[in-house]
Structure 1
Amino acid sequence: MDAQSLMQAAIRGRWAVAGIFLANGFLTGSWAPQIPVFLTRLDISKFTLGLLILLFGAGAVTAMTWCGHLISRHGSHTVLRCFGLCGSLGLLVVALAPNVPLAAIAMFIFGGSIGVMDVAMNANAVAVERRLSRAIMSSSHGFWSLGGFAGGALGGFAIQNYGHLPHATVVTVLAFAVVAVAVGYLIVKDKPQVAEHQKFSLPANPLVYLVGLMALLTMISEGAVLDWAALYLHQELGADLAIAGLAYAAFSGVMAVMRFLGDGVRNRFGAVATLRGSALVAAAGMLVAGLSPSPWLAIAAFAFCGFGIANMVPIIFSAGGNQDGMSSGTGMSVVTTMGYSGILVAPSAIGFVAEHSSFGPIFVALSGLLVIVLLMAGLAHRAEFAPEPAPAE
């Protein structure tokens, strides 16, 4: 295959993996408006609902830990072909679950399939970046945010007017169709790198765990805004519920826009410089939010924080997928597992601390975690690009 054909295939692969990100975000976002129906349909308490949602996260993290080994053996395109199509059915399976035991199994499987999709699509995006010799990870995550926004915004209307099952069916059909078309155009770059008989093992390179630590600290901060910003504005800054809800809306809206702009910034200034600047902006925004005397200043500060955090995770994921001595899937598996563990663990830990303190000091402390990422930003040098040599014909 000549260089022009390779580049055309890479461009098609770039939009194909963007479609996978969009479908994954759409499925995840469509789950949120199903939650109230899920609660009443199964006649369960909020505590039981929390446990079922935790099973979704547990399924995702469990799958992420071995997904890298799977990608190393079969390639991210093959894993996406299998788990992307299967994962598209996950929401429908949950919506059909008639009782708590089957719902628990369905939630674990749904979370696991979404988790495998997440690692594999990020690994494939790294392969596209190598082929194109430029960043596409931030805009890929932008498509995920766009899908999540669409799923969340349309889901409530659809469920209220047509019911939860028709909504889940339509979501499944749309996601399945997007994935089915996209997998045919994914680039086939990350060939299997381990023997069939080789057993699963964790990478020996300590740098990938330090990159994972950066993902953990960044995603703890992101999850804290998602789960606690509205309560902080309502309980401690005296905002009504409508205004309090603007905190995460401003944060996520700015973050989505910046993710579509982030690849251009990263291509111009480099991954390390972009990560440092982003971490500085995010830390400043989180600090001002924690010290804010008024809800409107806090909302503006959270938006500023979203401006910074937007491109931190994509750059860190690119660095994780480009580590020496391991496949992109293996590195991505470690980094995504550590990162998403922060979103799972942080909410309960922050809630416990907030019961004995207040949210303001917590957000100030979270700004310190982002400063640590700033100091570690040099580890993201593996996300820089050099032109990839064309394979021999």
Structure 2
Amino acid sequence: MQQAQTGRWAVAAMFATNGFVMGAWAPQIPLLLTRHDITTSMLGLLILGLGLGAVAAMLFAGRLIQTYGSRSIARAFGLATAPALPLVVLAPNLPLLALAMALMGALIGCMDVAMNANAVEVERRLGRAIMSSSHGFWSLGGFVGGIAGSYVIAKFGAESQALTVAALALITVLLAGPKLLADAPHPTETKPEPHALFPRDASLWILGFMALFCMVPEGAVLDWAAIYLNRELGADLFRSGLGFAGFAATMALMRFAGDRLRNRFGAVKTLQISGLISAAGLLGAGFAPNDITAIACFTFAGLGVANMVPILFSAAGNHPGMAAGAAISTVTMVGYAGILIAPSSIGFIGDHIGFRATYAALAVVLLIVTALAPRVKAADGLKPL
């Protein structure tokens, strides 16, 4: 049990490191415009390439985990992720920048799948949920990376920030990696099908699309809440940013409370309650009479959205007849496609029917996830090993 407890904090450190690198990357993005003399449209394509690199790598991560185990893959890709940001920042020209960004996305994507698979292993050993708080550590790492990264860029420059982030990430992975739990043998798992990247299990794909249905509303708040508050509700510049800020704050806080709720009420009921809260929040934001009400509703929605994806990842990792890595790689691949789909599709829909109707429609999407909540009952079968 002591080993499992140690592994629990080691995997939390990996989540925090992954989030830290992503948070530190955010303030670097605008600097690429002047450094490479590119347009915002070109920058959008480069960011899309980063996302596609992550999603494509997730296809292969599951097979690597099945072969080598989640601990080895998390350590390997954690070490490889550490220098990824300097490669992007120091890229001398546009072709190498595009290649470096796609590579960074692929490395972070593989590390993401491996650390989620290892978190499932910790849950199996402890016999209780730890996935939501693990994602909470990712959010915390992202917050620290964004705030501290912005400060270091302002004081010492982009190159110094990237190298510092790489050094801190490398040290953390070197310290935490050896303490990750090794995968225990699970006799019910099937062998990977030769040359098959896509599992044929329809129920697993349903979990994937449930994750996508949760991530699209999250992306819709991230990318478009400020514009909605400003354009349609007349919020000023400061209040326009409070919609996502409130949403992100409650989401991070609730992730640290999510495991306790899930251990008490079970994955199915927790997902059902979370789905109803998030749907009510987005519906309220869509019909809000003013910007203050909408901000409050977005903040309320964050309470529900917080634990939906972690529960789905736990359900995938305990999917009957499949190795955790293979199942999680499929669900994360489909789910993270929602982050790629959300920015452009939500903007297009919002321009044509307005963001009020868009957020109301996304509430219905979350109600679909709520109705499908019994699909995550595999996550409730945790018993200490």
**Shift in Å at residue 190 of structure 1?**
4.7
For residue 238 of structure 1, the aligned residue among 234, 241, 249 is 234
In 2, the alpha carbon distance for the partners of 1:140 and 1:224 equals 23
- Residue 208 of structure 1 deviates from its aligned partner by 0.7
Q: Secondary structure at the match of 2:318?
A: coil
Give 2:302's match in structure 1, choosing from 301, 306, 313. 306
Match of 1:12 among 6, 10, 17: 6
Residue 91 (structure 2) aligned to one of 73, 79, 97: 97
Does structure 2 retain, via aligned residues, the 8 Å contact 1:190–1:327?
no
TM-score by length of 1: 0.95
Of 146, 153, 169, 1:152 maps to 146
CA distance in structure 2 between the partners assigned to 1:355 and 1:160 by the alignment: 35
Matches within 5 A, 1:125-274: 125-190=119-184, 198-274=194-270
Distance 1:116 1:229, change over 3 A: same
1:191/1:43 CA distance change after superposition, 3 Å: farther
Deviations 1:150-205 (A, max 9, x none): 11112222111110000001111111111111111000025597779943432222
Contact persistence 2:59–2:197 (CA under 8 A): no
Q: Deviations over 1:37-80 (max 9, x none)?
A: 11111111001100100110010000011111111111011111
Is contact 1:250-1:303 (8 Å) kept? yes
The yes-or-no answer on 1:341 pairing with 2:337 is: yes
> 1-side partners of 2:215 and 2:305: how far apart?
9
Residue 319 of structure 1: how far off its partner (Å) = 0.4
Paired with 2:32 and 2:143, the residues of 1 have a C-alpha distance of: 20
Letter in 2 for 1:349: S
Partners in 1 of 2:288 and 2:356 — Cα distance? Answer: 8
- 2:275 aligned partner: 279
Deviation digits for residues 126-148 of structure 1, max 9, x if unmatched?
Answer: 01000000000000000000000
Which stretch of the first structure deviates more once superposed, 342-351 or 10-19? Answer: 342-351
Partners in 1 of 2:191 and 2:318 — Cα distance?
Answer: 21
Structure 1 position 288 matched with structure 2 position 284 = yes
Specify whether residues 220 and 196 from structure 1 end up closer, same or farther in structure 2 by C-alpha distance, changes over 3 A only: closer
Q: Which amino acid aligns with 1:284?
A: A
1:114 aligns with 2:111: no
Alignment TM-score, normalising by the size of structure 2: 0.97
Of residues 307, 320, 323, the one that matches 1:324 is 320
Contact 2:124 2:384 in 1 (8 A): yes
Q: Distance in 2 between matches of 1:298 and 1:348?
A: 22
What is the CA–CA distance in structure 2 between the aligned matches of 1:125 and 1:176, rounded to whole Å? 20
Q: Deviations over 1:89-109 (max 9, x none)?
A: 111110110111000000000
Q: Does 1:48 align with 2:35?
A: no
Q: Contact conserved, 1:282 with 1:307, CA < 8 A, in 2?
A: yes
CA deviation after TM superposition for structure 1 residue 206, in Å: 1.2
Structure 1 distance, partners of 2:88, 2:282, is 36
Gaps spanning 5+ residues in structure 2: where? none
The share of aligned pairs that are identical, in percent, is 52
Structure 1, unaligned stretches of length 5 or more? 1-6
CA offset digits 1:11-55 (Å, max 9, x no partner): 010000000000000000111100111111111100110010011
In 2, the alpha carbon distance for the partners of 1:374 and 1:79 equals 33
1:76 to 70, 73, 76: 70
| Alignment partners' CA distance in 2, 1:118 and 1:317 | 11
Pick from 23, 27, 37 the counterpart of residue 21 of structure 2.
27
Cα distance, 1:93–1:378 mapped onto 2, change above 3 Å: same
Aligned to 1:3: none
Rounded to whole Å, the distance in 1 between the matches of 2:166 and 2:144 is 14
Question: 2: CA distance between counterparts of 1:329 and 1:61?
Answer: 15
AA in 2 matched with 1:305: A
Kindly provide the amino acid, as one letter, of the partner of residue 276 in structure 1.
Q
Counterparts of 1:234 and 1:190, CA distance in 2 = 52
CA-to-aligned-CA distance 1:184-232 (integer Å, 9 cap, x gap) = 1000025597779943432222111111111010000111000000110
What's the Cα RMSD here? 1.4
Q: Secondary structure at the match of 2:199?
A: coil
* Number of positions where the alignment pairs a residue of Structure 1 with one of Structure 2: 383
Note closer, same or farther for the CA distance 1:36–1:131 as it changes in structure 2 (3 Å cut): same
